[in-house]
Amino acid sequence: MAFEYKRLNKTTKIILTLLLIAGCIVLTYMLDKGIIGTSYTVRIVRISVIYALIGVSMNLVNGFTGVFSLGQAGFMAIGAYTVGVLTIPLASRPNVYYLVPISEKIQDLVMPFGVALIIGGIFAAIFAALIGTPVLRLKSDYLAIATLGFSEIVRAIIANNQMWPITNGSLGLKSIPTFPSLFIPVIISTVGIAFMVLLIKSSYGRAFKAIREDEVAAEAMGINLFKHKGLSFIISAFFAGVGGGLLAAHLTAIDSNQFKIMVTYELLLIIVLGGLGSVTGTVLSSFMICSGKELLRWFDLPHSIGTWKIPIFRPGLRMVIFSLLLMTVVLFWRRGLMGRKEFSWDGIYNFLRRWPWRVRRLIRGDYSKKQEEVTPNA
């Protein structure tokens, strides 16, 4: 007997969605007030939601539009340094720019965090528009190399204080005001991700997906390839810049070494593990990777049995185990955790219903390894 796919009614979905939102708000409040968890837990949640926003912005280009871009770390650096420069209190600036004075044009300029965050995103978007004109005409590996080179150029300029006496060169920035509440990064990341979800579901999003599937066919249908690629690239850069600004406030101190190529590779890992073309998968994988790396720190610490020190436990073992776990996930889920699927109450409901159905088939002895036949319920 085929499995019958059932759908929940609209009222039930609305109630479940409201309950989920209320649960997230309550959980965030309890973490923020220290009712549950520790300050370490709050740091993990903050970095996870920030990387979720940046990961979705990268997936917008790579997963939904099919443009292989690796310049996300450069846009993050632009947003992070913009927020850092514009929000450091005047009283703290002599302790930050103690080697080379800050430029006289902005030495007395201080802006609220929200304004600085938007400006950082706009600067990143402007840079994306400037480099997008020549770069987006390239394809495949050439485009990836060009955007990766841009990211390294941005980092080199930031590190050179004599060329750009604003970023404090290799000394970096410190005394950046942090978040007064966990709600700030959570709300900003949620709003940013929600905007990109709405964009993906719009006519522009359908054009992005058409370009991803077949550029020739998309152009034949009247889609302007350069316009839509540029739009996707600029919006992605804007939210990457916003994410970089959030990261600066989270860390309270930044330097150019924090935006090396490995940051881009880590973001690429997040979107591949979650699923290229899946917002839900990207959010889930960002939490998995950010929390997983922290929870596995136990393996980096020395451990002993009595007086005998176990030699295998040493710094670096955490990343070895983490890499093995990721390889295992990739082997069993080659298209990522979600593939191109998204979160839906219908999917969860039928997933929970399917397991008892499988058990009954196994008991009857007619279980097959072939893909199960599913009869949709109209």
Q: What is the pLDDT of residues 128-170, one digit of tens each?
A: 999 888 888 887 778 888 888 888 888 888 887 665 678 888 8
Two structure tokens written together for 173: 């920035």
User: What proportions of the chain, in percent to the nearest 5, are helix, strand and coil?
Assistant: 70, 5, 30
Q: Which of 146, 127, 15 is nearest to 68 (CA)?
A: 146
Judge whether residue 315 has pLDDT over 90. no
Q: How deeply is 133 buried, as exposed, middle or buried, from its count of CB atoms within 10 A (0-12, 13-18, 19+)?
A: exposed
Q: What pLDDT score does 112 carry?
A: 93
Give the residue-averaged pLDDT of 351-372: 61
Element counts in the chain: helices (H) and strands (E): 14, 4
CB 230 within 8 A of CB 132: yes
Angle at which helix 317-332 crosses helix 279-295, to 10 degrees, equals 150
Q: What pLDDT score does 353 carry?
A: 77
Q: Which 3 state secondary structure label does DSSP give 369?
A: coil
Judge whether residue 376 has pLDDT over 70. no
CB 363 within 8 A of CB 302: no
Q: What pLDDT score does 369 carry?
A: 46
Give the residue-averaged pLDDT of 361-376: 54
Q: What pLDDT score does 365 carry?
A: 60
pLDDT tens string 77-112 = 999 999 999 999 988 888 888 877 777 888 888 899
Judge whether residue 366 has pLDDT over 60. no
Choose between 237 and 6: higher pLDDT: 237
Q: Which residue type occupies 66?
A: G
**pLDDT band at 240; cut points 50, 70, 90:** very high
**pLDDT band at 275; cut points 50, 70, 90:** confident
Judge whether residue 211 has pLDDT over 70. yes
Give the residue-averaged pLDDT of 353-359: 67
Predicted model pTM: 0.88
Two structure tokens written together for 261: 């190529």
**pLDDT band at 23; cut points 50, 70, 90:** very high
Least confident of 117-126, 240-249, 312-321, 357-366: 357-366
Q: Which 3 state secondary structure label does DSSP give 49?
A: helix
Residue percentage of the chain with pLDDT more than 70: 92
CB 284 within 8 A of CB 338: yes
Give the residue-averaged pLDDT of 310-324: 78
Give the residue-averaged pLDDT of 344-355: 80
Choose between 291 and 161: higher pLDDT: 291
Mean pLDDT of the chain: 85
Q: Which helix (H) or strand (E) holds 87?
A: helix 72-87
Q: What pLDDT score does 322 carry?
A: 75
Choose between 360 and 27: higher pLDDT: 27
- How many Cβ atoms are within 10 Å of 139's Cβ, its own excluded? 12
Q: Which helix (H) or strand (E) holds 4?
A: strand 3-5
CB 312 within 8 A of CB 298: no
C-alpha 293/C-alpha 289 separation (Å) is 6
CB 361 within 8 A of CB 1: no
C-alpha 181/C-alpha 150 separation (Å) is 34
Q: What backbone phi and psi angles, to 5 degrees, belong to 304?
A: -145, 155
Q: What pLDDT score does 171 carry?
A: 83
Q: What pLDDT score does 162 carry?
A: 61
Q: What pLDDT score does 359 carry?
A: 60
CB 177 within 8 A of CB 256: no
C-alpha 33/C-alpha 230 separation (Å) is 42
CA atoms within 13 A on the CB side of 363: 6
**pLDDT band at 52; cut points 50, 70, 90:** very high
Q: What pLDDT score does 86 carry?
A: 92
**pLDDT band at 186; cut points 50, 70, 90:** very high
C-alpha 49/C-alpha 4 separation (Å) is 36
DSSP string, 138-187: S-HHHHHHHHHHHHHHHHHHHH-TTT-TTS-GGG-B------SSTHHHHH
Q: Which 3 state secondary structure label does DSSP give 297?
A: helix
Q: What pLDDT score does 301 carry?
A: 79
Burial of 172-205, coded b for 16+ CB within 10 Å and e otherwise, reads bbbebbebeebebbbebbbebbeebbebbeeebb
